[in-house]
Amino acid sequence: MYMKADAENHVTRRPDGQRRGSRLRVAAACACLGWLAAAWAPGWAWAAGTACASASADHARSTPQRDPSPDLFAPVGPRDADVQPVSFADWWNRISGLWSGGDGGEHLLRVASPVRFRLDDGIVQAVKKVQPAVMGIVNYSQVSDFFAQRTRLETQGIGTGVLILKDARYGYIVTNNHVVQDAAQVDAVLPSGKHVRAEVVGTDPYTDLAVIRVPVDPVKSVTPPVFADSDAIEVGEPAIAIGSPMGLDFANSVTAGIVSATKRIMPVQMEQGGQTVVLDYQTVIQTDAAINPGNSGGPLLDIDGRIIGINSSKIAAPSVEGMGFAIPSNQVRHIAEQIIRTGHAEHPALGVTGYSLTALPDAYWPDVPVDYGVWVQSVTSASAREAGVRANDVIVGIDKHDVRTMADLRTYLFQYHPGDVVSLRLYRGHKLMSVKVKLGAMPAVRTAMARPAMGDDEEGDTLAPWSGFGGFLG
């Protein structure tokens, strides 16, 4: 095969008559650009290679092809001087065209606007807003000193509280009943470390809530945080816990997580006669924000620094992590207002015991056309019996509210007062019925040490056949 170099243009001619010099230069330039793009970022390599391939194809289309002929010296098309080189600007425009879908068109893959909100900034601001109102709560018991022949105060437990209200004389702090239970003296410990003697205004063992008060002067400059509507919170939204885990050495510790569930049923337990009994079942918020001993009574906040709950318990089994619980803010507000006004809280009683229908084993499943509601295990009050409520009924509504679980029934029921009359919608077999029941009152209970968290040797409530789903509604 015969080839020779054109001294003027340095174009290598081949028998097929195609001019190769300009293409070789374009290919070399493309290779260099591709190498540089690969060094900058993997994505640029693809773009550069694609653009250069496009440039080469355009050049090939602009070059007339010679009619196959043995004449090596026949015309082969335009000279090299007529071939326009691919500039950097052209290359950049071609890449831009690939990403925009053409010349000046819309982007095929749209890039989101920069996210200007940072979660950690929101947490920092929420904590700054609320932390001055969060206090350690010290429970002192009175013990006898045999040798000194006198009694002395000894720390029985440490929890957390949050300032929720101030008037001309006092600052009112909400905490857990089990934090101040059986206390001979209660101190509130300010963020500065100063101890202030507190007075127990009242407690409510059914919800594990208590209100204490301190003189207003030490908290005069502190702004109480506001309550959020706990019925409006959503699973997955941020949850921030502030408290004193493991004592005052770690006071005002902050942990963060999310709302794992908005309505869980957990037992409220207490000691009676040396035995642990279930006093009631409570609707709570579940969170994976770390809650440890000492966090009890502290606030659970949303990203805006509003109280969505009061931390009360956790599951402490060895195989369980990240399951803490808080009393919903709507219930906290309702109970705290009663305690501040009257020194105690009243709870309505429906007069039945029952379980969420979905929690029942198949053997107990009633013949009803629904798969939700509260199955009535037994009727315990004369008022409910006279209204026509019977065992094995399935309650599906109370007044205008639909009832799907025991948590729903308890939540709606506790919005009423003893003596109110409510309308229950229930199924008896396949028949939908409506009955009116006059609510009674939950019996008074001597405040005793509640056990809000399961210990390492406890797997759940041993007194109920389906732990966590049942309830005593009076």
Distance CA 55, CA 98 (A): 13
Tell me whether residue 312 is one of the annotated catalytic residues: no
Per-residue pLDDT at 298: 95
Confidence of residue 116 (pLDDT cuts 50, 70, 90): low
Q: Each residue of 275-303: pLDDT tens digit?
A: 666 777 788 999 999 998 889 999 999 99
232's tokens:
């409006």
428's tokens:
């008896």
Burial of 275 (0-12, 13-18, 19+ CB in 10 A): exposed
Distance CA 446, CA 94 (A): 82
Identified catalytic residue from 22, 244, 253, 296: 296
Residue range 415-443: mean pLDDT, rounded: 93
Tell me whether residue 249 is one of the annotated catalytic residues: no
Could you tell me which of 130, 183, 126, 192 has the C-alpha nearest to residue 159?
A: 183
Tell me whether residue 260 is one of the annotated catalytic residues: no
Per-residue pLDDT at 27: 53
Burial of 56 (0-12, 13-18, 19+ CB in 10 A): middle
Per-residue pLDDT at 172: 97
Q: Each residue of 157-184: pLDDT tens digit?
A: 899 999 999 999 999 999 999 899 888 9
Question: Mind listing the domains of the chain with CATH numbers?
Answer: 21-100 (no CATH), 121-342 (2.40.10.120), 348-441 (2.30.42.10)
32-41, 230-239, 434-443: segment of lowest average pLDDT:
32-41
Mean pLDDT across the chain? 77
Identified catalytic residue from 178, 187, 260, 467: 178
Q: Does the pLDDT of residue 110 top 70, yes or no?
A: no
391's tokens:
């065992």
Q: Does the pLDDT of residue 336 top 90, yes or no?
A: yes
Could you tell me which of 254, 240, 252, 256 has the C-alpha nearest to residue 300?
A: 240
Provide, rounded to the nearest whole percent, the portion of the chain with pLDDT above 70. 66
Identified catalytic residue from 22, 187, 204, 208: 208
